[in-house]
Each structure stands twice: as structure tokens, then as C-alpha cells.
Amino acid sequence: MQLYGSIELLTGYASRTQQARRISEDWVARHAYCLRCESGELTPTPANTETCDFVCPQCDHGYELKSKCGAFTTRVVDGAYGAMLRTIRANRTPTFLLLEYSRDWSITGFTAIHHSLITESSIVARKPLAATARRAGWVGCSIVMPEIAVDGKIPIIINERIEPPAQVRGSFRKLESLSQLSHERRNWAAIMLNLIRKLPEDSFKLSDVYKFEDQLKLIFPGNNNVKPKIRQQLQVLRDAGILTFLGGGKYRFARYK
């Protein structure tokens, strides 16, 4: 895996945005691999494919690429809000690939955002384009990174250091069972996982999680049975292998070998 873009591809592209798109798409096509299966390559999708830039030729899992000069921060700008909502509700959410590069086109970071944790609660609509814009009224969206649990932010390259593919795929597959849930149940599970990750220890009590009750009531104002829902979601995360039940209302995050 080479950690630099092919600068010879810049010929004919005057815009820095166009240059970044050309180099980043080429780099992923040459060096990225599927995280869901053992395929060593990803195939570019046809131009203008909705919410998907690459697909695995073996398992058909989709990936959407975002690239940035420098580090991504709390929000990742994405495409049309309506299209992303449709994709999430149809359980076709792609895994996002966040590619970071330097001014000289060196690859400095590469992170996958697991598709199962990208839910309606982790995206927000952007302000509609002005009436004078070419696409007046168009509404884009952003992924709010703090709304995604750390489990779903899977490093492939950190500070120009390449992580072992087996380790990357292992981290990805720990969350795959959540992708089998309906989008409503997956939304609850993703929110619960993110909240629990904010607890100070890997081991915790049910009473610790109950402290998020008021926060969950704000997120789900139509739900009048939040405590039973909390217990249900702990069971979902336990069944997914993310939590281990210790008995007596105690849990801990699973310890993977």
C-alpha cells in the first residue's frame, strides 16, 4: 500500500477540488480492500450512483468516499439529505471511507465508519441552497461524528501507519450483526452504544445506564417506556457480542481475542 497519490493524474484539472477527487478515487481503487469479506479490491461504481462510490466485487458491500486535506473534525459533509435518509431506511447504508491527505498529496489517514452505526440520529440536514444557486433549495447533509460510537470508527491508516488488514476486518466484523436489525432498532442500538461508551469504565451497572433516561426521552419523545427500552437494547448489544452480562445487573464490554 503506497501512501501517496499519483500526481501525474493532476494534468487537466485546474480546481483543487477536482484534483482531490481524482487522486483520492484513484488511490482507493488501487489500494483499498473490502472490510466485510476477504476481497483485496473495491470497484468504482458508475458516475452519479446514489450514496455509493465503490462496491466490493465479491460481497457487494458499498462504500462512500470522503477525502480532505488535513484531518476530519466533528462533521463530515455528505450529499443529498433525502437520498441518505432513503438509503438508511432501506438498510442499504454504505460504509464511509474517510481519506486524509497532505498538501503534497501524501496519505496521512484512512478511517472506515461502519455502516451499521450511521443512522438517522447521526446525520443532520444542512441549510438549503439559496434561491440564487444553480440547485436552489437543494438540501445536503452532514455526518455528526460525535454521534457515532468509537467502535464504529475503524482506523486503516493512522498517522501514516498502516494497520494490519486482519485487525481492521476483525474490528469491522464485530459490528456486523447490528446491520441485520431494522433501521429503527439499529438507530436505538447505535445511540445506546454511543451513550454507554461515555461511561468512565468498561464495566458498568444497569443503574449507570438508567442515568441516560432523560437524554433518551429527548431523543425519542414519543417513547414513554424508556427504562424497559434501555434493558431491551442492552440485550441487543449483548446478543451482538458487544456486551457481556455479568449477572446482578452488571455488564462489561466484551473482550475480544
pLDDT at 164: 98
Cα 70 from Cα 100, distance rounded (Å): 6
Residues in the chain predicted with pLDDT less than 50, given as ranges, are 257
- Cα distances (Å, whole numbers) of residue 57 to 29, 45, 149, 213, 244: 12, 11, 28, 43, 35
pTM for the whole structure: 0.94
DSSP states along 3-43: SB--GGGGTT--SHHHHHHHHHHHHHHHH---SSSS-S--E
99 with 225, same domain? no
Cα 19 from Cα 64, distance rounded (Å): 18
In a domain, 235, yes or no: yes
Residues forming a β-bridge with 157: 110, 162
The 3-class secondary structure across 209-252, one letter per residue, is HHCCHHHHHHHCCCCCCHHHHHHHHHHHHHHCCCEEEEECCEEE
Q: Of 144, 176, 208, which one is at a domain's C-terminal end?
A: 176
Into how many domains does the chain fold?
Answer: 2
pLDDT at 224: 86
107 with 215, same domain? no
pLDDT at 225: 92
- Region of 248 (left: φ > 0; alpha: ψ -120 to 50; beta: rest) is left
Q: Are 251 and 235 in contact (CB under 8 A)?
A: no
138 with 30, same domain? yes
pLDDT at 169: 98
Q: Are 117 and 176 in contact (CB under 8 A)?
A: no
pLDDT at 256: 58
Q: Of 176, 210, 242, which one is at a domain's C-terminal end?
A: 176
pLDDT at 91: 94
Give 141's Cβ-side CA count (13 Å radius): 22
Structural domain that includes position 215: 199-253
93 with 34, same domain? yes
In a domain, 146, yes or no: yes
H or E stretch covering 151:
none
Cα 192 from Cα 117, distance rounded (Å): 11
In a domain, 206, yes or no: yes
48 with 146, same domain? yes
Domain with residue 81: its CATH number is: 3.40.210.30
In a domain, 126, yes or no: yes
Give 157's Cβ-side CA count (13 Å radius): 21
22 with 100, same domain? yes
SS3 194: helix
